[in-house]
Structure 1
């Protein structure tokens, strides 16, 4: 009965298969490369697909030719002629796969060396080096030469090789920006490295690609590529956050931030500890906890009061003291004031 009606499910199955490509987030695809490393991966993927298609077509053509030519005919019960091999054919079907493997081998190996982190000069003027640390479940970005830390969103200059040195604090994570390059694991006690380059300004979605706990699927981040002058302006503003912070220290929200213990985990400018994401540019961020709408005050309040409700397994604890509604409004206002860019700044 099922086989009789199985064909009815085929159109829906094909539709679901096609629509799976629409479920990803913006720029979370390796099929639209925006950097040289991602383009190399894409080109090799297409080359592999072409070779695989060629082999499949040849095999199926030969298969059906043999199926038709040597099919059993009515009244023919004789035992087919027995053969014990054909040297020419055996050499042919051995050499062809070797040739195809060599075609795949050459660009793969050459690209591996080309896109290895050692391809970037250590002392190249203007190069950006960023230390990345994976946490459950957020990303920490330490700008080595610039002397500041960012969280969840990493800014890079367009058209330049940016070197990422990657570690993990707790478990194995995997750093992946599919539109810009391949993924690489972040492992506790081990430093891995790669470089990425964005060809155009834009916001590129990144994810953790290694199962790291119950909120693995929510461990997102963004790479924001800016023109060099805009990037330099952003760096200067980030370096000047400590001085600018005195302007908001008198706000009621800052007192709540101090009194409820937030400062014990989150650094703002030159104050606080860095066990949690730095919040110096929290008001500039595009997402809350890497995945939620940061403009939703109710969700932000829920995140502060009970992080587990939005990100199961997150190591952020609830506030040390209860926060009233008025205090929460002041705290949210303070957090949104933590900006290094204004309406007149394109970055």
Structure 2
């Protein structure tokens, strides 16, 4: 027994580590929309059917292995008997066909539900109290969220009021990406020159994860985003905050603003109400109101902002922001400015 434990210890340790690693991942089995719920239902059905097939096939195999494993007495030869068992032949042909037919029908019903959602005609209409238009633009390696009816552009965090129906259009600014939050529903490809549309109805308050699910370059694994579903009053407060112009700066923040406007920053970033109109990088108008940055890989803290300004590659290797070789005083002033953009 002890030798068995020793022999299986590496495998058990690997299973334990894998379980712990997956514990914090988003799952299709914790849906927050009817669309995701239908996908979770399909996954459950397929798992149950596959499990039953596995039990029947492996159980039958194990039975015959045990039943005929004793062998024959020495000198005894096996009699070869040939006989057409038409009923057995029909059964083992019909059974897989029936299983596949059931899986096909269930899959088509759920697929029809997903693709016949009334989304496309309303994509350009003004958002109602329960409908929200969101334009998602994928960049290497971050996400832009544009609310055209609200005049809001932000990055890496998609806000929505609970109970709202999100009419989402997905596109790419560079290469092919794929927008996927398991709790919302199926993934949607972001393709240059093409707009793909989908619809989600969010039903549970919370902060959920999402990611790019199509390999898109060196930082593909670090192209994350957050889905923040909040009560209507809290969402309305967020909208008012995001629609406000950037605050007037004083003190060290004013020095940082001047440095920002006179430097290379305005070539890539936009800050509403200023001369900064760059579009290569995230809109920073209300940067300090976000919980994360750098493709949602870094918490928005003073320490991380300073480290990012010192050397962007140190926090997210491969990202497209160059090292501007700022002095410590410049970094502190810019950090003050960025922290004031609420």
- What range is the shorter-chain TM-score in? 0.7 to 0.9
Match of 2:197 among 179, 193, 214: 193
Q: Distance in 2 between matches of 1:291 and 1:336?
A: 18
SS for the counterpart of 1:142 is strand
The TM-score with structure 2 as length reference comes to 0.87
User: Residues 302 and 339 of structure 2 are in contact (CA less than 8 Å); yes or no, is this contact kept in structure 1?
Assistant: no
Q: Relative to structure 2, which stretch is displaced further, 131-140 or 25-34?
A: 25-34
Match of 1:300 among 296, 305, 317: 305
Q: Which runs of 5+ in 2 are unaligned?
A: none
- Structure 1 residue 90 corresponds to structure 2 residue 89: yes
Alignment of 1:1-347 (within 5 A): 8-24=6-22, 26=24, 28-71=26-69, 72-75=71-74, 77-83=76-82, 85-116=84-115, 118-120=117-119, 122=122, 123=125, 125-126=128-129, 127-240=131-244, 242=245, 244-246=246-248, 251-271=254-274, 272-289=277-294, 290-297=296-303, 299-319=304-324, 322-339=325-342
SS for the counterpart of 1:245 is coil
Change (3 A) 1:63 1:140: same
Q: Relative to structure 2, which stretch is displaced further, 37-46 or 120-129?
A: 120-129
Q: How many residues align?
A: 331
User: Residues 266 and 274 of structure 1 are in contact (CA less than 8 Å); yes or no, is this contact kept in structure 2?
Assistant: yes
SS for the counterpart of 1:251 is helix
Change (3 A) 1:296 1:14: farther
User: Residues 249 and 337 of structure 2 are in contact (CA less than 8 Å); yes or no, is this contact kept in structure 1?
Assistant: no
Q: Distance in 1 between matches of 2:223 and 2:43?
A: 26
SS for the counterpart of 2:189 is strand
SS for the counterpart of 1:39 is helix
The TM-score with structure 1 as length reference comes to 0.86
**Can you list the C-alpha shifts for 1:142-163, whole angstroms capped at 9, x where unaligned?**
1122222111111112122212
User: Residues 177 and 207 of structure 1 are in contact (CA less than 8 Å); yes or no, is this contact kept in structure 2?
Assistant: yes
What is the CA-CA distance between 1:36 and the residue it aligns to?
2.0
Q: Distance in 1 between matches of 2:134 and 2:249?
A: 29
What is the CA-CA distance between 1:28 and the residue it aligns to?
2.1
User: Residues 248 and 254 of structure 1 are in contact (CA less than 8 Å); yes or no, is this contact kept in structure 2?
Assistant: no
Change (3 A) 1:25 1:333: farther
SS for the counterpart of 1:115 is helix
What is the CA-CA distance between 1:248 and the residue it aligns to?
6.0
SS for the counterpart of 2:138 is strand
Change (3 A) 1:14 1:205: same
SS for the counterpart of 2:42 is helix
What is the CA-CA distance between 1:220 and the residue it aligns to?
0.9
Structure 1 segments, 4+ long, off by >6 Å, are: none
What is the CA-CA distance between 1:253 and the residue it aligns to?
1.6
User: Residues 144 and 153 of structure 2 are in contact (CA less than 8 Å); yes or no, is this contact kept in structure 1?
Assistant: yes
SS for the counterpart of 1:112 is helix
What is the CA-CA distance between 1:51 and the residue it aligns to?
0.9
Change (3 A) 1:303 1:9: farther
Q: Distance in 2 between matches of 1:296 and 1:247?
A: 18
Q: Which runs of 5+ in 1 are unaligned?
A: 340-347
